[in-house]
Structure 1
Amino acid sequence: MTVDPLSEIVTLLQPSAGLSKQVEYTGSWRIRRDPESKPVYFAVLEGGCRVVGPGRSPILLRAGDFVLSPSANEQTIESIDAPPEGAYVLPVEIGEGRFRVGPPTEPVNLRMQYGLCRFASPDAALLVSLLPSLVVARGEPRLEQLLQLVSDETRQFRPGRDLVLERLLEVLMIEALRCGTEMASVPSLARGLSDVRLAPALRAVHARPDSDWTVTKLAIEAGMSRSAFFARFGRIVGLAPMEYVLAWRMALAKRLLRAHDLATERIATQVGYSSASTFTTAFTRHVGMTPLRYARSTDIP
């Protein structure tokens, strides 16, 4: 069975579009992103700027560059000539879907198409942790076109709008993740899937979550020794192998429980547990409630 783990995770996130706007920038400025803010994506249409984040060198962006930040992490976007400190400003609305940053008397030196999205999945934090915190793709016209489609659809209230936006965002995220160039040193699923040794093991977990996986069996899929595989997996993916297996099984179990059409015994078998009782114990420890309570909870979409 051919399985695409990246597509599975993006689909499970259930992305939906929030605010979409075009922003023009003038003069020297700096904007700090709230760590509690929503996932963000934007394309540089004209000019240039810098993205600054803790623990990494500033990233210079130019026209044609696209940025995706799935996680709500601390981040600052600033003009190339911004002073070492200060110059923090807020966008001002100047028209429908249009904002300005900086003094209105100075010429525009940067223009960006900018959007926010939400992840409806109750497992969003877990799933996002498997993706890079920041993705930069350069010179990919398809991403700019997709972003324009998202922007156009956001402003219209046509039949099927929510479903169209969800699918467009899924394609936008996958396209950015598979062509991003600034995430080589960040542990993530995307990096693991680009690793010739780890990719077969990751695809095997997603294709056969019901298998009796162990670190040794996964190492065999990767063609590596157990110790070398364990170290490589943690370094590149960011989780220990069996932590990843557990996380993926629980995400699948939650999806099956929300469907309300399978018995616990059947779900247990599908996600790799020999009995309903062992599955219930693992699920309760991981989620904080029993599978039955989870399925019945009115708070779960």
Structure 2
Amino acid sequence: MVDPLSEIVSLLNPQVAFSKVVLGSGAWRVKRENTGKPFYCVVIDGECGLTLDNDQQRHLTAGDFVLIPEAFDFTFSSTDPVASDDIHSLPEIISAGKLRVGAQDQTANVQLLVGHCRFDSLDAKILVALLPKLVHIRNATRITSLVNMLIEESIAHLPGYVQVMGHLLQVLLIEAFRTTIDTPTMPGLLAGLADKRIAEAIRTMHQDISKTKTVAQLAKVAALSRSSFFYRFKQTVGVTPMEYQIAWRMTVAKDLLKKQFYSIAQIAELVGYKSASAFSLAFTNYTGTSPSKFKSMQ
């Protein structure tokens, strides 16, 4: 069976950038801005607060896992109140891969494993837009085990560790997303997959992109009227069915062009266009660059 979530995570091509252990004591606050990179955190021990994009603070406790697919503005802080909103702590290096924040003369009362990864996808922006802006899982035992395996691989540097880490990170992301798939908080892919009727339409679009699916055909798959399906899909996923179908086709096309294995005519057929010229026009309109120029830049 076609699995859209696995396909999207695979195309995102996640790669580990770094991970560090952070110890906190007393009152502290650490703010990060404008990284735009995926960020994850496991609370190993203790508790702390997380605020994303000036939203209401979330209380994190031991065993919690947090993933922010595109982190631009977030703050971690102690449960002890910080004197002023303008005060931010500067992490100090204790040893390789270990930092400390807060009062140096107090025993650490929280331990975090934090890390950044990166998405080596040419269409990361489009794919990330389909994902929730924050995943928060409590008692994330399975995910914590995966993170520990990532750390072990990054330290050991055994032969093949790059491939192993990439696969572990894919599994980590899929595990995080599917754990929250039944409780989506905003429109996007997870919300679409949580809706059985919309999920069938999404799988149909992913199943064979060489064939165009009309709204009427997708509505039939979803067992809904055309108008009901169109409205429900847009409300649930955040884009119209045709916008989703085109975005997915162009994402796959970019990936195929990057791999340099196929001619433009072959790619046109694979992603559902009757001719290379029709594909070139659609690709240029969508990306602003012709397929041949895009391919030569890879």
Q: Which amino acid aligns with 1:248?
A: W
Q: CA deviation at 1:182?
A: 9.9
Does residue 1:234 correspond to 2:234, yes or no?
yes
Give yes or no for contact 1:257–1:294 (8 Å, CA) kept in 2. yes
Aligned-partner Cα distance in 1 for 2:87–2:62: 23
Aligned-partner Cα distance in 1 for 2:56–2:288: 39
Deviates more, 1:184-193 or 1:245-254: 184-193
Q: CA deviation at 1:226?
A: 2.0
Specify the alignment match of 2:4 in structure 1: 5
User: What pairs up with 1:94-243 in 2 under 5 angstroms?
Assistant: 94-180=94-180, 184-243=184-243
Specify the alignment match of 1:88 in structure 2: 88
Write the deviation string for residues 212-262 of structure 1: whole angstroms up to 9, x where unpaired: 222222222211122222222222212221111111000111111122232
Q: Secondary structure at the match of 1:34?
A: strand
Give yes or no for contact 1:38–1:118 (8 Å, CA) kept in 2. yes
Give yes or no for contact 1:268–1:279 (8 Å, CA) kept in 2. yes
The percentage of aligned residue pairs carrying the same residue is: 41
What TM-score do the two structures reach when normalised by structure 1? 0.93
Give yes or no for contact 1:26–1:107 (8 Å, CA) kept in 2. yes
Give yes or no for contact 2:48–2:76 (8 Å, CA) kept in 1. yes
What TM-score do the two structures reach when normalised by structure 2? 0.94
The 1:125–1:55 alpha-carbon spacing in structure 2 relative to 1, beyond 3 Å, is: same
Specify the alignment match of 2:48 in structure 1: 49
The 1:73–1:224 alpha-carbon spacing in structure 2 relative to 1, beyond 3 Å, is: farther
Specify the alignment match of 2:13 in structure 1: 14
Aligned-partner Cα distance in 1 for 2:18–2:140: 23
Give yes or no for contact 1:132–1:183 (8 Å, CA) kept in 2. no
Residues paired across the two proteins, number: 297
Q: CA deviation at 1:37?
A: 4.1
CA RMSD of aligned residues (A): 1.7
Give yes or no for contact 1:256–1:262 (8 Å, CA) kept in 2. yes
Q: Which amino acid aligns with 1:201?
A: A
Aligned-partner Cα distance in 2 for 1:62–1:180: 18
Q: Which amino acid aligns with 1:38?
A: K
The 1:172–1:249 alpha-carbon spacing in structure 2 relative to 1, beyond 3 Å, is: same
Q: Secondary structure at the match of 1:174?
A: helix
Q: Which amino acid aligns with 2:177?
A: L
Aligned-partner Cα distance in 2 for 1:270–1:264: 10
Aligned-partner Cα distance in 1 for 2:19–2:249: 34
Aligned-partner Cα distance in 2 for 1:170–1:140: 16
